């Protein structure tokens, strides 16, 4: 309870500073809109329907891109973390591409995919896949040698050890990896939408820039923040549901 108050006070402090500098006119409304203006903008967008349609389309893009990237990253990452041959093949490749700035691929992606959803998927895929592969491989490598040996002494073959021991043991940390990378995926989504889109949260922000509609920009940023927070909470709750064996109290 005490910690919840502390958490809430952090948010309250930022809100208070925001109110203080805008309502007093210390900062012009063009540079930073008041909370009221942002709320009014929210009501307007909700009434016209763009608020939820933006969220829907952005959410759809990030989900498809993320699921696709994860579907590939999971098996490749696991194999990289458990097989020296796979590691030798993938590591230089992944390590090299990982450091290429995703944003720099945007011109090429537009050339290849136009401004379609495919282009967003592609950018999110690039951003998510390479990070996930490296992190999942690392999650698997950190599985204790002792549990792997248990599997071996029980007569499991290599594939069974990977499937029934390594992946199961690494699952909670892989879950944390997905949770972290999901947060990054939001950045890639907005970057993709900022440049080449006709809908979505990033597009809304970009469009508002042209008309200097700063309350729309702030609203867009806050919406992304809240969505991120909600999905993070869901990840956390699902984690507790999937891995009930973590953090149990001792019986005696």
Partner 1 sequence: MSELLLEASHVGRTFETKKGRFTALNDVHLTIHQHEFVSLLGPSGCGKSTFLRLVAGLDQITDGTIVLNGQPITRPGRDRGVVFQQYSLLPWLLAWENVAFALKKDRLLNKKQKKELAYHFLKLVGLEGFETVYPSQMSGGMQQRVAIARALVFKPKLLLMDEPFGALDAQTRRDMQDLLVKVFKEAQSSVLFVTHDIDEAVYLSDRVYVMASGPGRNAKELTIELPDARDWSLQLTEPFIAYKKEIILELQKQRREAAEKAAATR
Q: Which residues bind partner 1 (CB under 8 A)?
A: 144, 146-147, 149-150, 152-156, 160, 164-165, 168-169, 171, 243-252
Spatial separation of the C-alpha atoms in residues 218 and 221, rounded to whole Å:
5
* Shortest CB 159 distance to partner 1, Å: 13
* Shortest CB 170 distance to partner 1, Å: 11
Cα R_g (the chain), whole angstroms: 22
* Cβ count near 80 (within 10 Å): 25
* Shortest CB 238 distance to partner 1, Å: 16
Structure token digits, residue 187 = 């950045």
Beta carbon nearer to partner 1, 19 or 154: 154
Spatial separation of the C-alpha atoms in residues 245 and 169, rounded to whole Å:
11
Beta carbon nearer to partner 1, 52 or 242: 242
Spatial separation of the C-alpha atoms in residues 5 and 136, rounded to whole Å:
35
Contact yes or no for 132/188 (Cβ under 8 A) = no
Beta carbon nearer to partner 1, 210 or 250: 250
Beta carbon nearer to partner 1, 165 or 189: 165
Please give the backbone phi and psi of residue 249, each rounded to the nearest 5 degrees, phi first.
Answer: -80, 150
* Shortest CB 169 distance to partner 1, Å: 7
Structure token digits, residue 245 = 């064996």
* Shortest CB 141 distance to partner 1, Å: 17
Beta carbon nearer to partner 1, 84 or 248: 248
Spatial separation of the C-alpha atoms in residues 195 and 76, rounded to whole Å:
31
Spatial separation of the C-alpha atoms in residues 176 and 180, rounded to whole Å:
6
Q: How far is CA 109 from CA 3, 115, 123, in A?
A: 45, 9, 7
Beta carbon nearer to partner 1, 4 or 250: 250
Contact yes or no for 97/130 (Cβ under 8 A) = yes
* Shortest CB 82 distance to partner 1, Å: 17
């Amino acid at each position: 309870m005490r910690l919840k108050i502390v958490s809430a006070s952090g948010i309250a402090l930022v809100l208070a500073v925001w109110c203080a500098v805008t309502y007093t006119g210390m900062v012009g409304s063009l540079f930073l809109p008041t909370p009221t203006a942002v709320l009014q903008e929210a009501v307007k967008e909700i009434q016209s329907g763009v608020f939820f349609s933006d969220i829907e389309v952005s959410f759809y893009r990030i989900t498809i891109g993320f699921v696709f990237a994860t579907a590939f990253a999971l098996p490749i990452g696991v194999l990289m973390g458990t097989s020296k041959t796979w590691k030798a093949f993938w590591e230089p490749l992944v390590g090299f591409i990982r450091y290429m700035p995703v944003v720099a691929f945007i011109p090429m992606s537009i050339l290849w995919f136009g401004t379609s959803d495919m282009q967003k998927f592609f950018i999110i895929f690039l951003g998510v896949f390479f990070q996930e592969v490296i992190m999942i491989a690392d999650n698997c490598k950190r599985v204790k040698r002792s549990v792997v040996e248990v599997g071996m002494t029980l007569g499991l073959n290599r594939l069974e050890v990977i499937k029934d021991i390594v992946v199961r043991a690494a699952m909670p940390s892989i879950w944390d990896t997905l949770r972290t990378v999901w947060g990054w995926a939001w950045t890639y989504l907005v970057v993709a939408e900022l440049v080449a889109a006709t809908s979505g949260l990033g597009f809304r922000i970009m469009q508002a820039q042209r008309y200097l509609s700063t309350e729309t920009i702030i609203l867009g940023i806050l919406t992304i923040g809240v969505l991120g927070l909600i999905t993070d909470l869901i990840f956390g709750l699902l984690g507790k549901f999937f891995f009930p064996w973590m953090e149990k109290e001792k019986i005696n």
